[in-house]
Amino acid sequence: MKIIYYPGCTLKTKAKNLGDTAVAAMSRLGIELEELKRWNCCGAVYSLADDDLIHQVAPVRVLVRAMEQGGGKLVTLCSMCYNTLARANLIMKNDEEKRNTINSFMDEEKDYNGEIEVVHLLSYLKDEVGWDALKEKVTVPLEGLNIAPYYGCTLQRPREVGIEAPGSFQLMTELLEAAGAEAVPIAEADLCCGSYQIIGNPEAAGNNSAKIVSAADKAGADALSMSCPLCEYNIGKKQGGLPTFYFTQLLALALGVSPEECHFELNHQSSFELLKSKGIVKL
């Protein structure tokens, strides 16, 4: 089975540990993530100014490419890409005036009316694979690992594109449990890590990320699980206080993908140390 997949810029460079592990894990589940043949950067953030349509063209072009490649569902992984694509898609579905302006601006492309369904991998796993089926494929259960699911902002907000309601962290919790780990809930799971303020106001961003690390630590979590390369950078690499993983790395590991293919060298080194100390990775 194949599903069209949009990796986005960061998954091809700094966050190969997110992109490559998703491809490997899904392959173990018999699903091929077929990369879009032609794609561009989505713009990373959705334009909030009402008159700024030019910045909607980049994500809309991605959606047009998905339609050209067969349409249906488009799976994404990076939380920021997911948010930007899903929101641009809503404009094309629901706002006739803006849709007409954007369509008439794009010369080469066919008119697009919101036909694509933008789906985050967590939703896809639940709806198309199912946690019970996933559990059956787990060969390396993540026993003894206490992981706090962390969603950040863009998986849940605004409500109209949230993969689940604000304050609910069920999808990642269920995924972690299916993989054999213990999910440790934290109230800060949707507290902003500081996002792009890491280059605008690094001190403020650092304060936020420190709060998240501290909350997870106090709750007894060994590590945080996440879906966004910017969260991983702010909370994992910049803080360095608590191991962080992409949920796809944990999934891949549980499905028997080799530790080398999970690219733990791209995480903070404490992350791999944790897996060794728990005996999940044996050297």
Partner 1 sequence: MAVKLSPNTVKKEFIEKLEKLSGQNIQKCFQCGTCSGTCPMSDSMDTPPRQILRMAQLGLQEDLEKSETCWVCASCHGCNVMCPRGVDLPRVMEALRQMKLRKNVNKIEPSEIPAETIKDCPQIALVAGFRKLTS
Give the position of tokens 């897996």: 275
- Other Cβ atoms within 10 Å of 51 Cβ, number: 7
Should residue 50 be labelled a site residue for partner 1 when binding is judged by CB under 8 A? yes
Please check whether residue 85 is in contact with residue 60, taking contact to mean a CB–CB distance below 8 angstroms.
no
Instruction: Find all residues with CB under 8 Å of 155, minimum gap 6, and list them.
Output: 79, 82, 83, 120, 122, 162, 163, 227, 228
Stretch that binds partner 1, among 28-36, 119-127, 188-196, 249-257 (CB under 8 A): 188-196
Should residue 55 be labelled a site residue for partner 1 when binding is judged by CB under 8 A? yes
Phi, psi dihedral angles at 165 (to 5 degrees): -65, 145
Judged by CB under 8 A, which of 16, 73, 93, 237 binds partner 1?
Answer: 237
Should residue 91 be labelled a site residue for partner 1 when binding is judged by CB under 8 A? no
**Per-residue DSSP letter, 223:** E
Should residue 106 be labelled a site residue for partner 1 when binding is judged by CB under 8 A? no
Distance between CA atoms of residues 158 and 163, nearest Å:
10
Should residue 140 be labelled a site residue for partner 1 when binding is judged by CB under 8 A? no
Should residue 265 be labelled a site residue for partner 1 when binding is judged by CB under 8 A? no
Should residue 190 be labelled a site residue for partner 1 when binding is judged by CB under 8 A? yes
Distance between CA atoms of residues 282 and 209, nearest Å:
31
Distance between CA atoms of residues 44 and 62, nearest Å:
13
Please check whether residue 6 is in contact with residue 62, taking contact to mean a CB–CB distance below 8 angstroms.
yes
Should residue 198 be labelled a site residue for partner 1 when binding is judged by CB under 8 A? yes
Residue closer to partner 1 by CB (options 148, 192) is: 192
Should residue 192 be labelled a site residue for partner 1 when binding is judged by CB under 8 A? yes
**Per-residue DSSP letter, 254:** H
Judged by CB under 8 A, which of 19, 59, 180, 229 binds partner 1?
Answer: 229
With CB under 8 A, what is the number of residues at the site for partner 1? 48
Q: From the CB of 43, what's the least distance to partner 1, in Å?
A: 7
Token digits of residue 47: 């334009």
Please check whether residue 5 is in contact with residue 248, taking contact to mean a CB–CB distance below 8 angstroms.
no
147-186 positions binding partner 1, by CB under 8 A: 153, 156-159, 166
Region for residue 225 given its phi and psi (left: phi exceeds 0; alpha: psi -120 to 50; beta: otherwise): beta
Should residue 97 be labelled a site residue for partner 1 when binding is judged by CB under 8 A? no
Q: From the CB of 162, what's the least distance to partner 1, in Å?
A: 8
Residue closer to partner 1 by CB (options 101, 207) is: 207
Q: From the CB of 144, what's the least distance to partner 1, in Å?
A: 30
Question: At CA 103, angle to CA 53 and CA 97, rounded to 5?
Answer: 65
Q: What residue ranges bind partner 1 (CB under 8 A)?
A: 8-10, 13-15, 41, 43-45, 47-52, 55, 78, 80-81, 153, 156-159, 166, 190-192, 194-201, 203-205, 207-208, 211, 229-230, 232-233, 237
